[in-house]
Amino acid sequence: MDESTVSVEPSWFRPDVLAGRVALVTGGGTGIGKEISRVLGAHGAAVVLASRKQEVLEAAVAELAEEGLDVSFGVCDVRDADAVRSVVDGAVSERGALDIVVNNAAGNFPAPMSAISPNGFKAVVDIDLLGTYNVSRAAFDASLREHGGSIVNISAPFEQRGVVYQAHVAAAKSGVDSLTRSCAVEWGPYGIRVNAVAPGSMLGTEGLKRFSEAVPGGAPVRPTNPLGRHGHGSDIAYLTLFLCSPLARFVSGQVIAVDGAGSADMLRLQAGPI
Ligand code: NAP
């Protein structure tokens, strides 16, 4: 288990809080997505991991199955609406329904705006934003509209602030935040809750590693948030679990930052307790 997947043990949730539920987690084979899959699975959900690389998915499914979880996978590129539909339809016919969707798949290559090509910009928007639309629509059509459920979009806390090397990601994730609210409003009458979780910098993830490498000098990115640490995948996974659980039955249309108050801190002047 790498640093991104440090779990909170024991869980303070009932282990059967998601019993009988079926979840689809895009990008569920790596990093934060794998920890979300682990935590949803450990609380009773059957989890389908979906992304492009079959070998990565197979390894993640083997690891999670070894822990006793009910997991399977489907291969698709979230930019390809037909491929997404085929994975979603397959999950529904295999598992009987789909109750939970976690749109976690994302593209990221840190770069200054002046060095991002039109294709690079488009790729990130297509994976993060169009992908979230494709997966949410397919799940709505195939199952959620029949019985309701919960969608959690994994975003980033970039909507209100500028962030260097992340212009494409910030634009895409701001779109995801907006889509979260629109879907929550339109699909609320179907009993579907839609929320977003916006992680700050997450320890041990590919995203943070690439960001550290991109910063001039290649220095590790230090946590600048008031809590003074990077997050763990489990910090994201447990909020996702809460949002998918009946405890959050009146929570919808929200974008919740999990970033140690980083996005609340305008000036970042404070070095310690005052
Ligand atoms: P990661 O390990 O790089 O995972 C990205 C996942 O997305 C991979 O499993 C990848 O699988 C999948 N993916 C990428 N392109 C895809 C495509 N076209 N179709 C289907 N799947 C695709 O990322 P992470 O760092 O754990 O981040 C997870 C989420 O948290 C992302 O939404 C990210 O934006 C967000 N986030 C992360 C941080 C951080 O510090 N790491 C901070 C803020 C927000 P395949 O390669 O198999 O397709």
Query: 44: closest CA among 21, 61, 73, 24?
Result: 21
Name the residue of 54, 122, 205 whose CB sits within 8 Å of the most ligand 1 atoms, as the mutation to test its pocket. 205
Domain count within the chain: 1
Tell me the per-residue pLDDT of 23-65, one tens digit each, with 9 for 90 and over: 999 999 999 999 999 999 999 999 999 999 999 999 999 999 9
Q: What is the CATH number of the domain that holds 202?
A: 3.40.50.720
In a domain, 1, yes or no: no
Name the residue of 51, 73, 133, 176 whose CB sits within 8 Å of the most ligand 1 atoms, as the mutation to test its pocket. 51
Q: Are 69 and 23 in contact (CB under 8 A)?
A: no
Using CB atoms within 10 Å of the CB of residue 103, give its burial: 0 to 12 exposed, 13 to 18 middle, 19+ buried: buried
In a domain, 264, yes or no: no
In a domain, 90, yes or no: yes
Tell me the per-residue pLDDT of 14-26, one tens digit each, with 9 for 90 and over: 999 999 999 999 9
DSSP structure class, residue 126: I
Range of the domain at 62: 19-257
Residue 191 CA to residue 184 CA, distance in Å, equals 10
In a domain, 55, yes or no: yes
In a domain, 271, yes or no: no
In a domain, 138, yes or no: yes
In a domain, 205, yes or no: yes
DSSP structure class, residue 142: I
What's residue 216's pLDDT?
78
What's residue 1's pLDDT?
45
Query: 9: closest CA among 196, 195, 232, 245?
Result: 232
Q: From atom 48 of ligand 1, which residue's Cα is the shortest distance away?
A: 52
Residue 270 Cα to ligand 1 midpoint, Å, equals 31
Q: What residues are in contact with ligand 1 under a 6 Å CB criterion?
A: 26-27, 29-33, 51-53, 56, 77-79, 104-108, 127, 154, 156, 199, 201-202, 205-208
Phi, psi of 61 (to 5 degrees): -65, -40
In a domain, 110, yes or no: yes
**Mean pLDDT over all residues of the chain?**
95
Numbers of helices and strands, H then E, in the chain: 9, 7
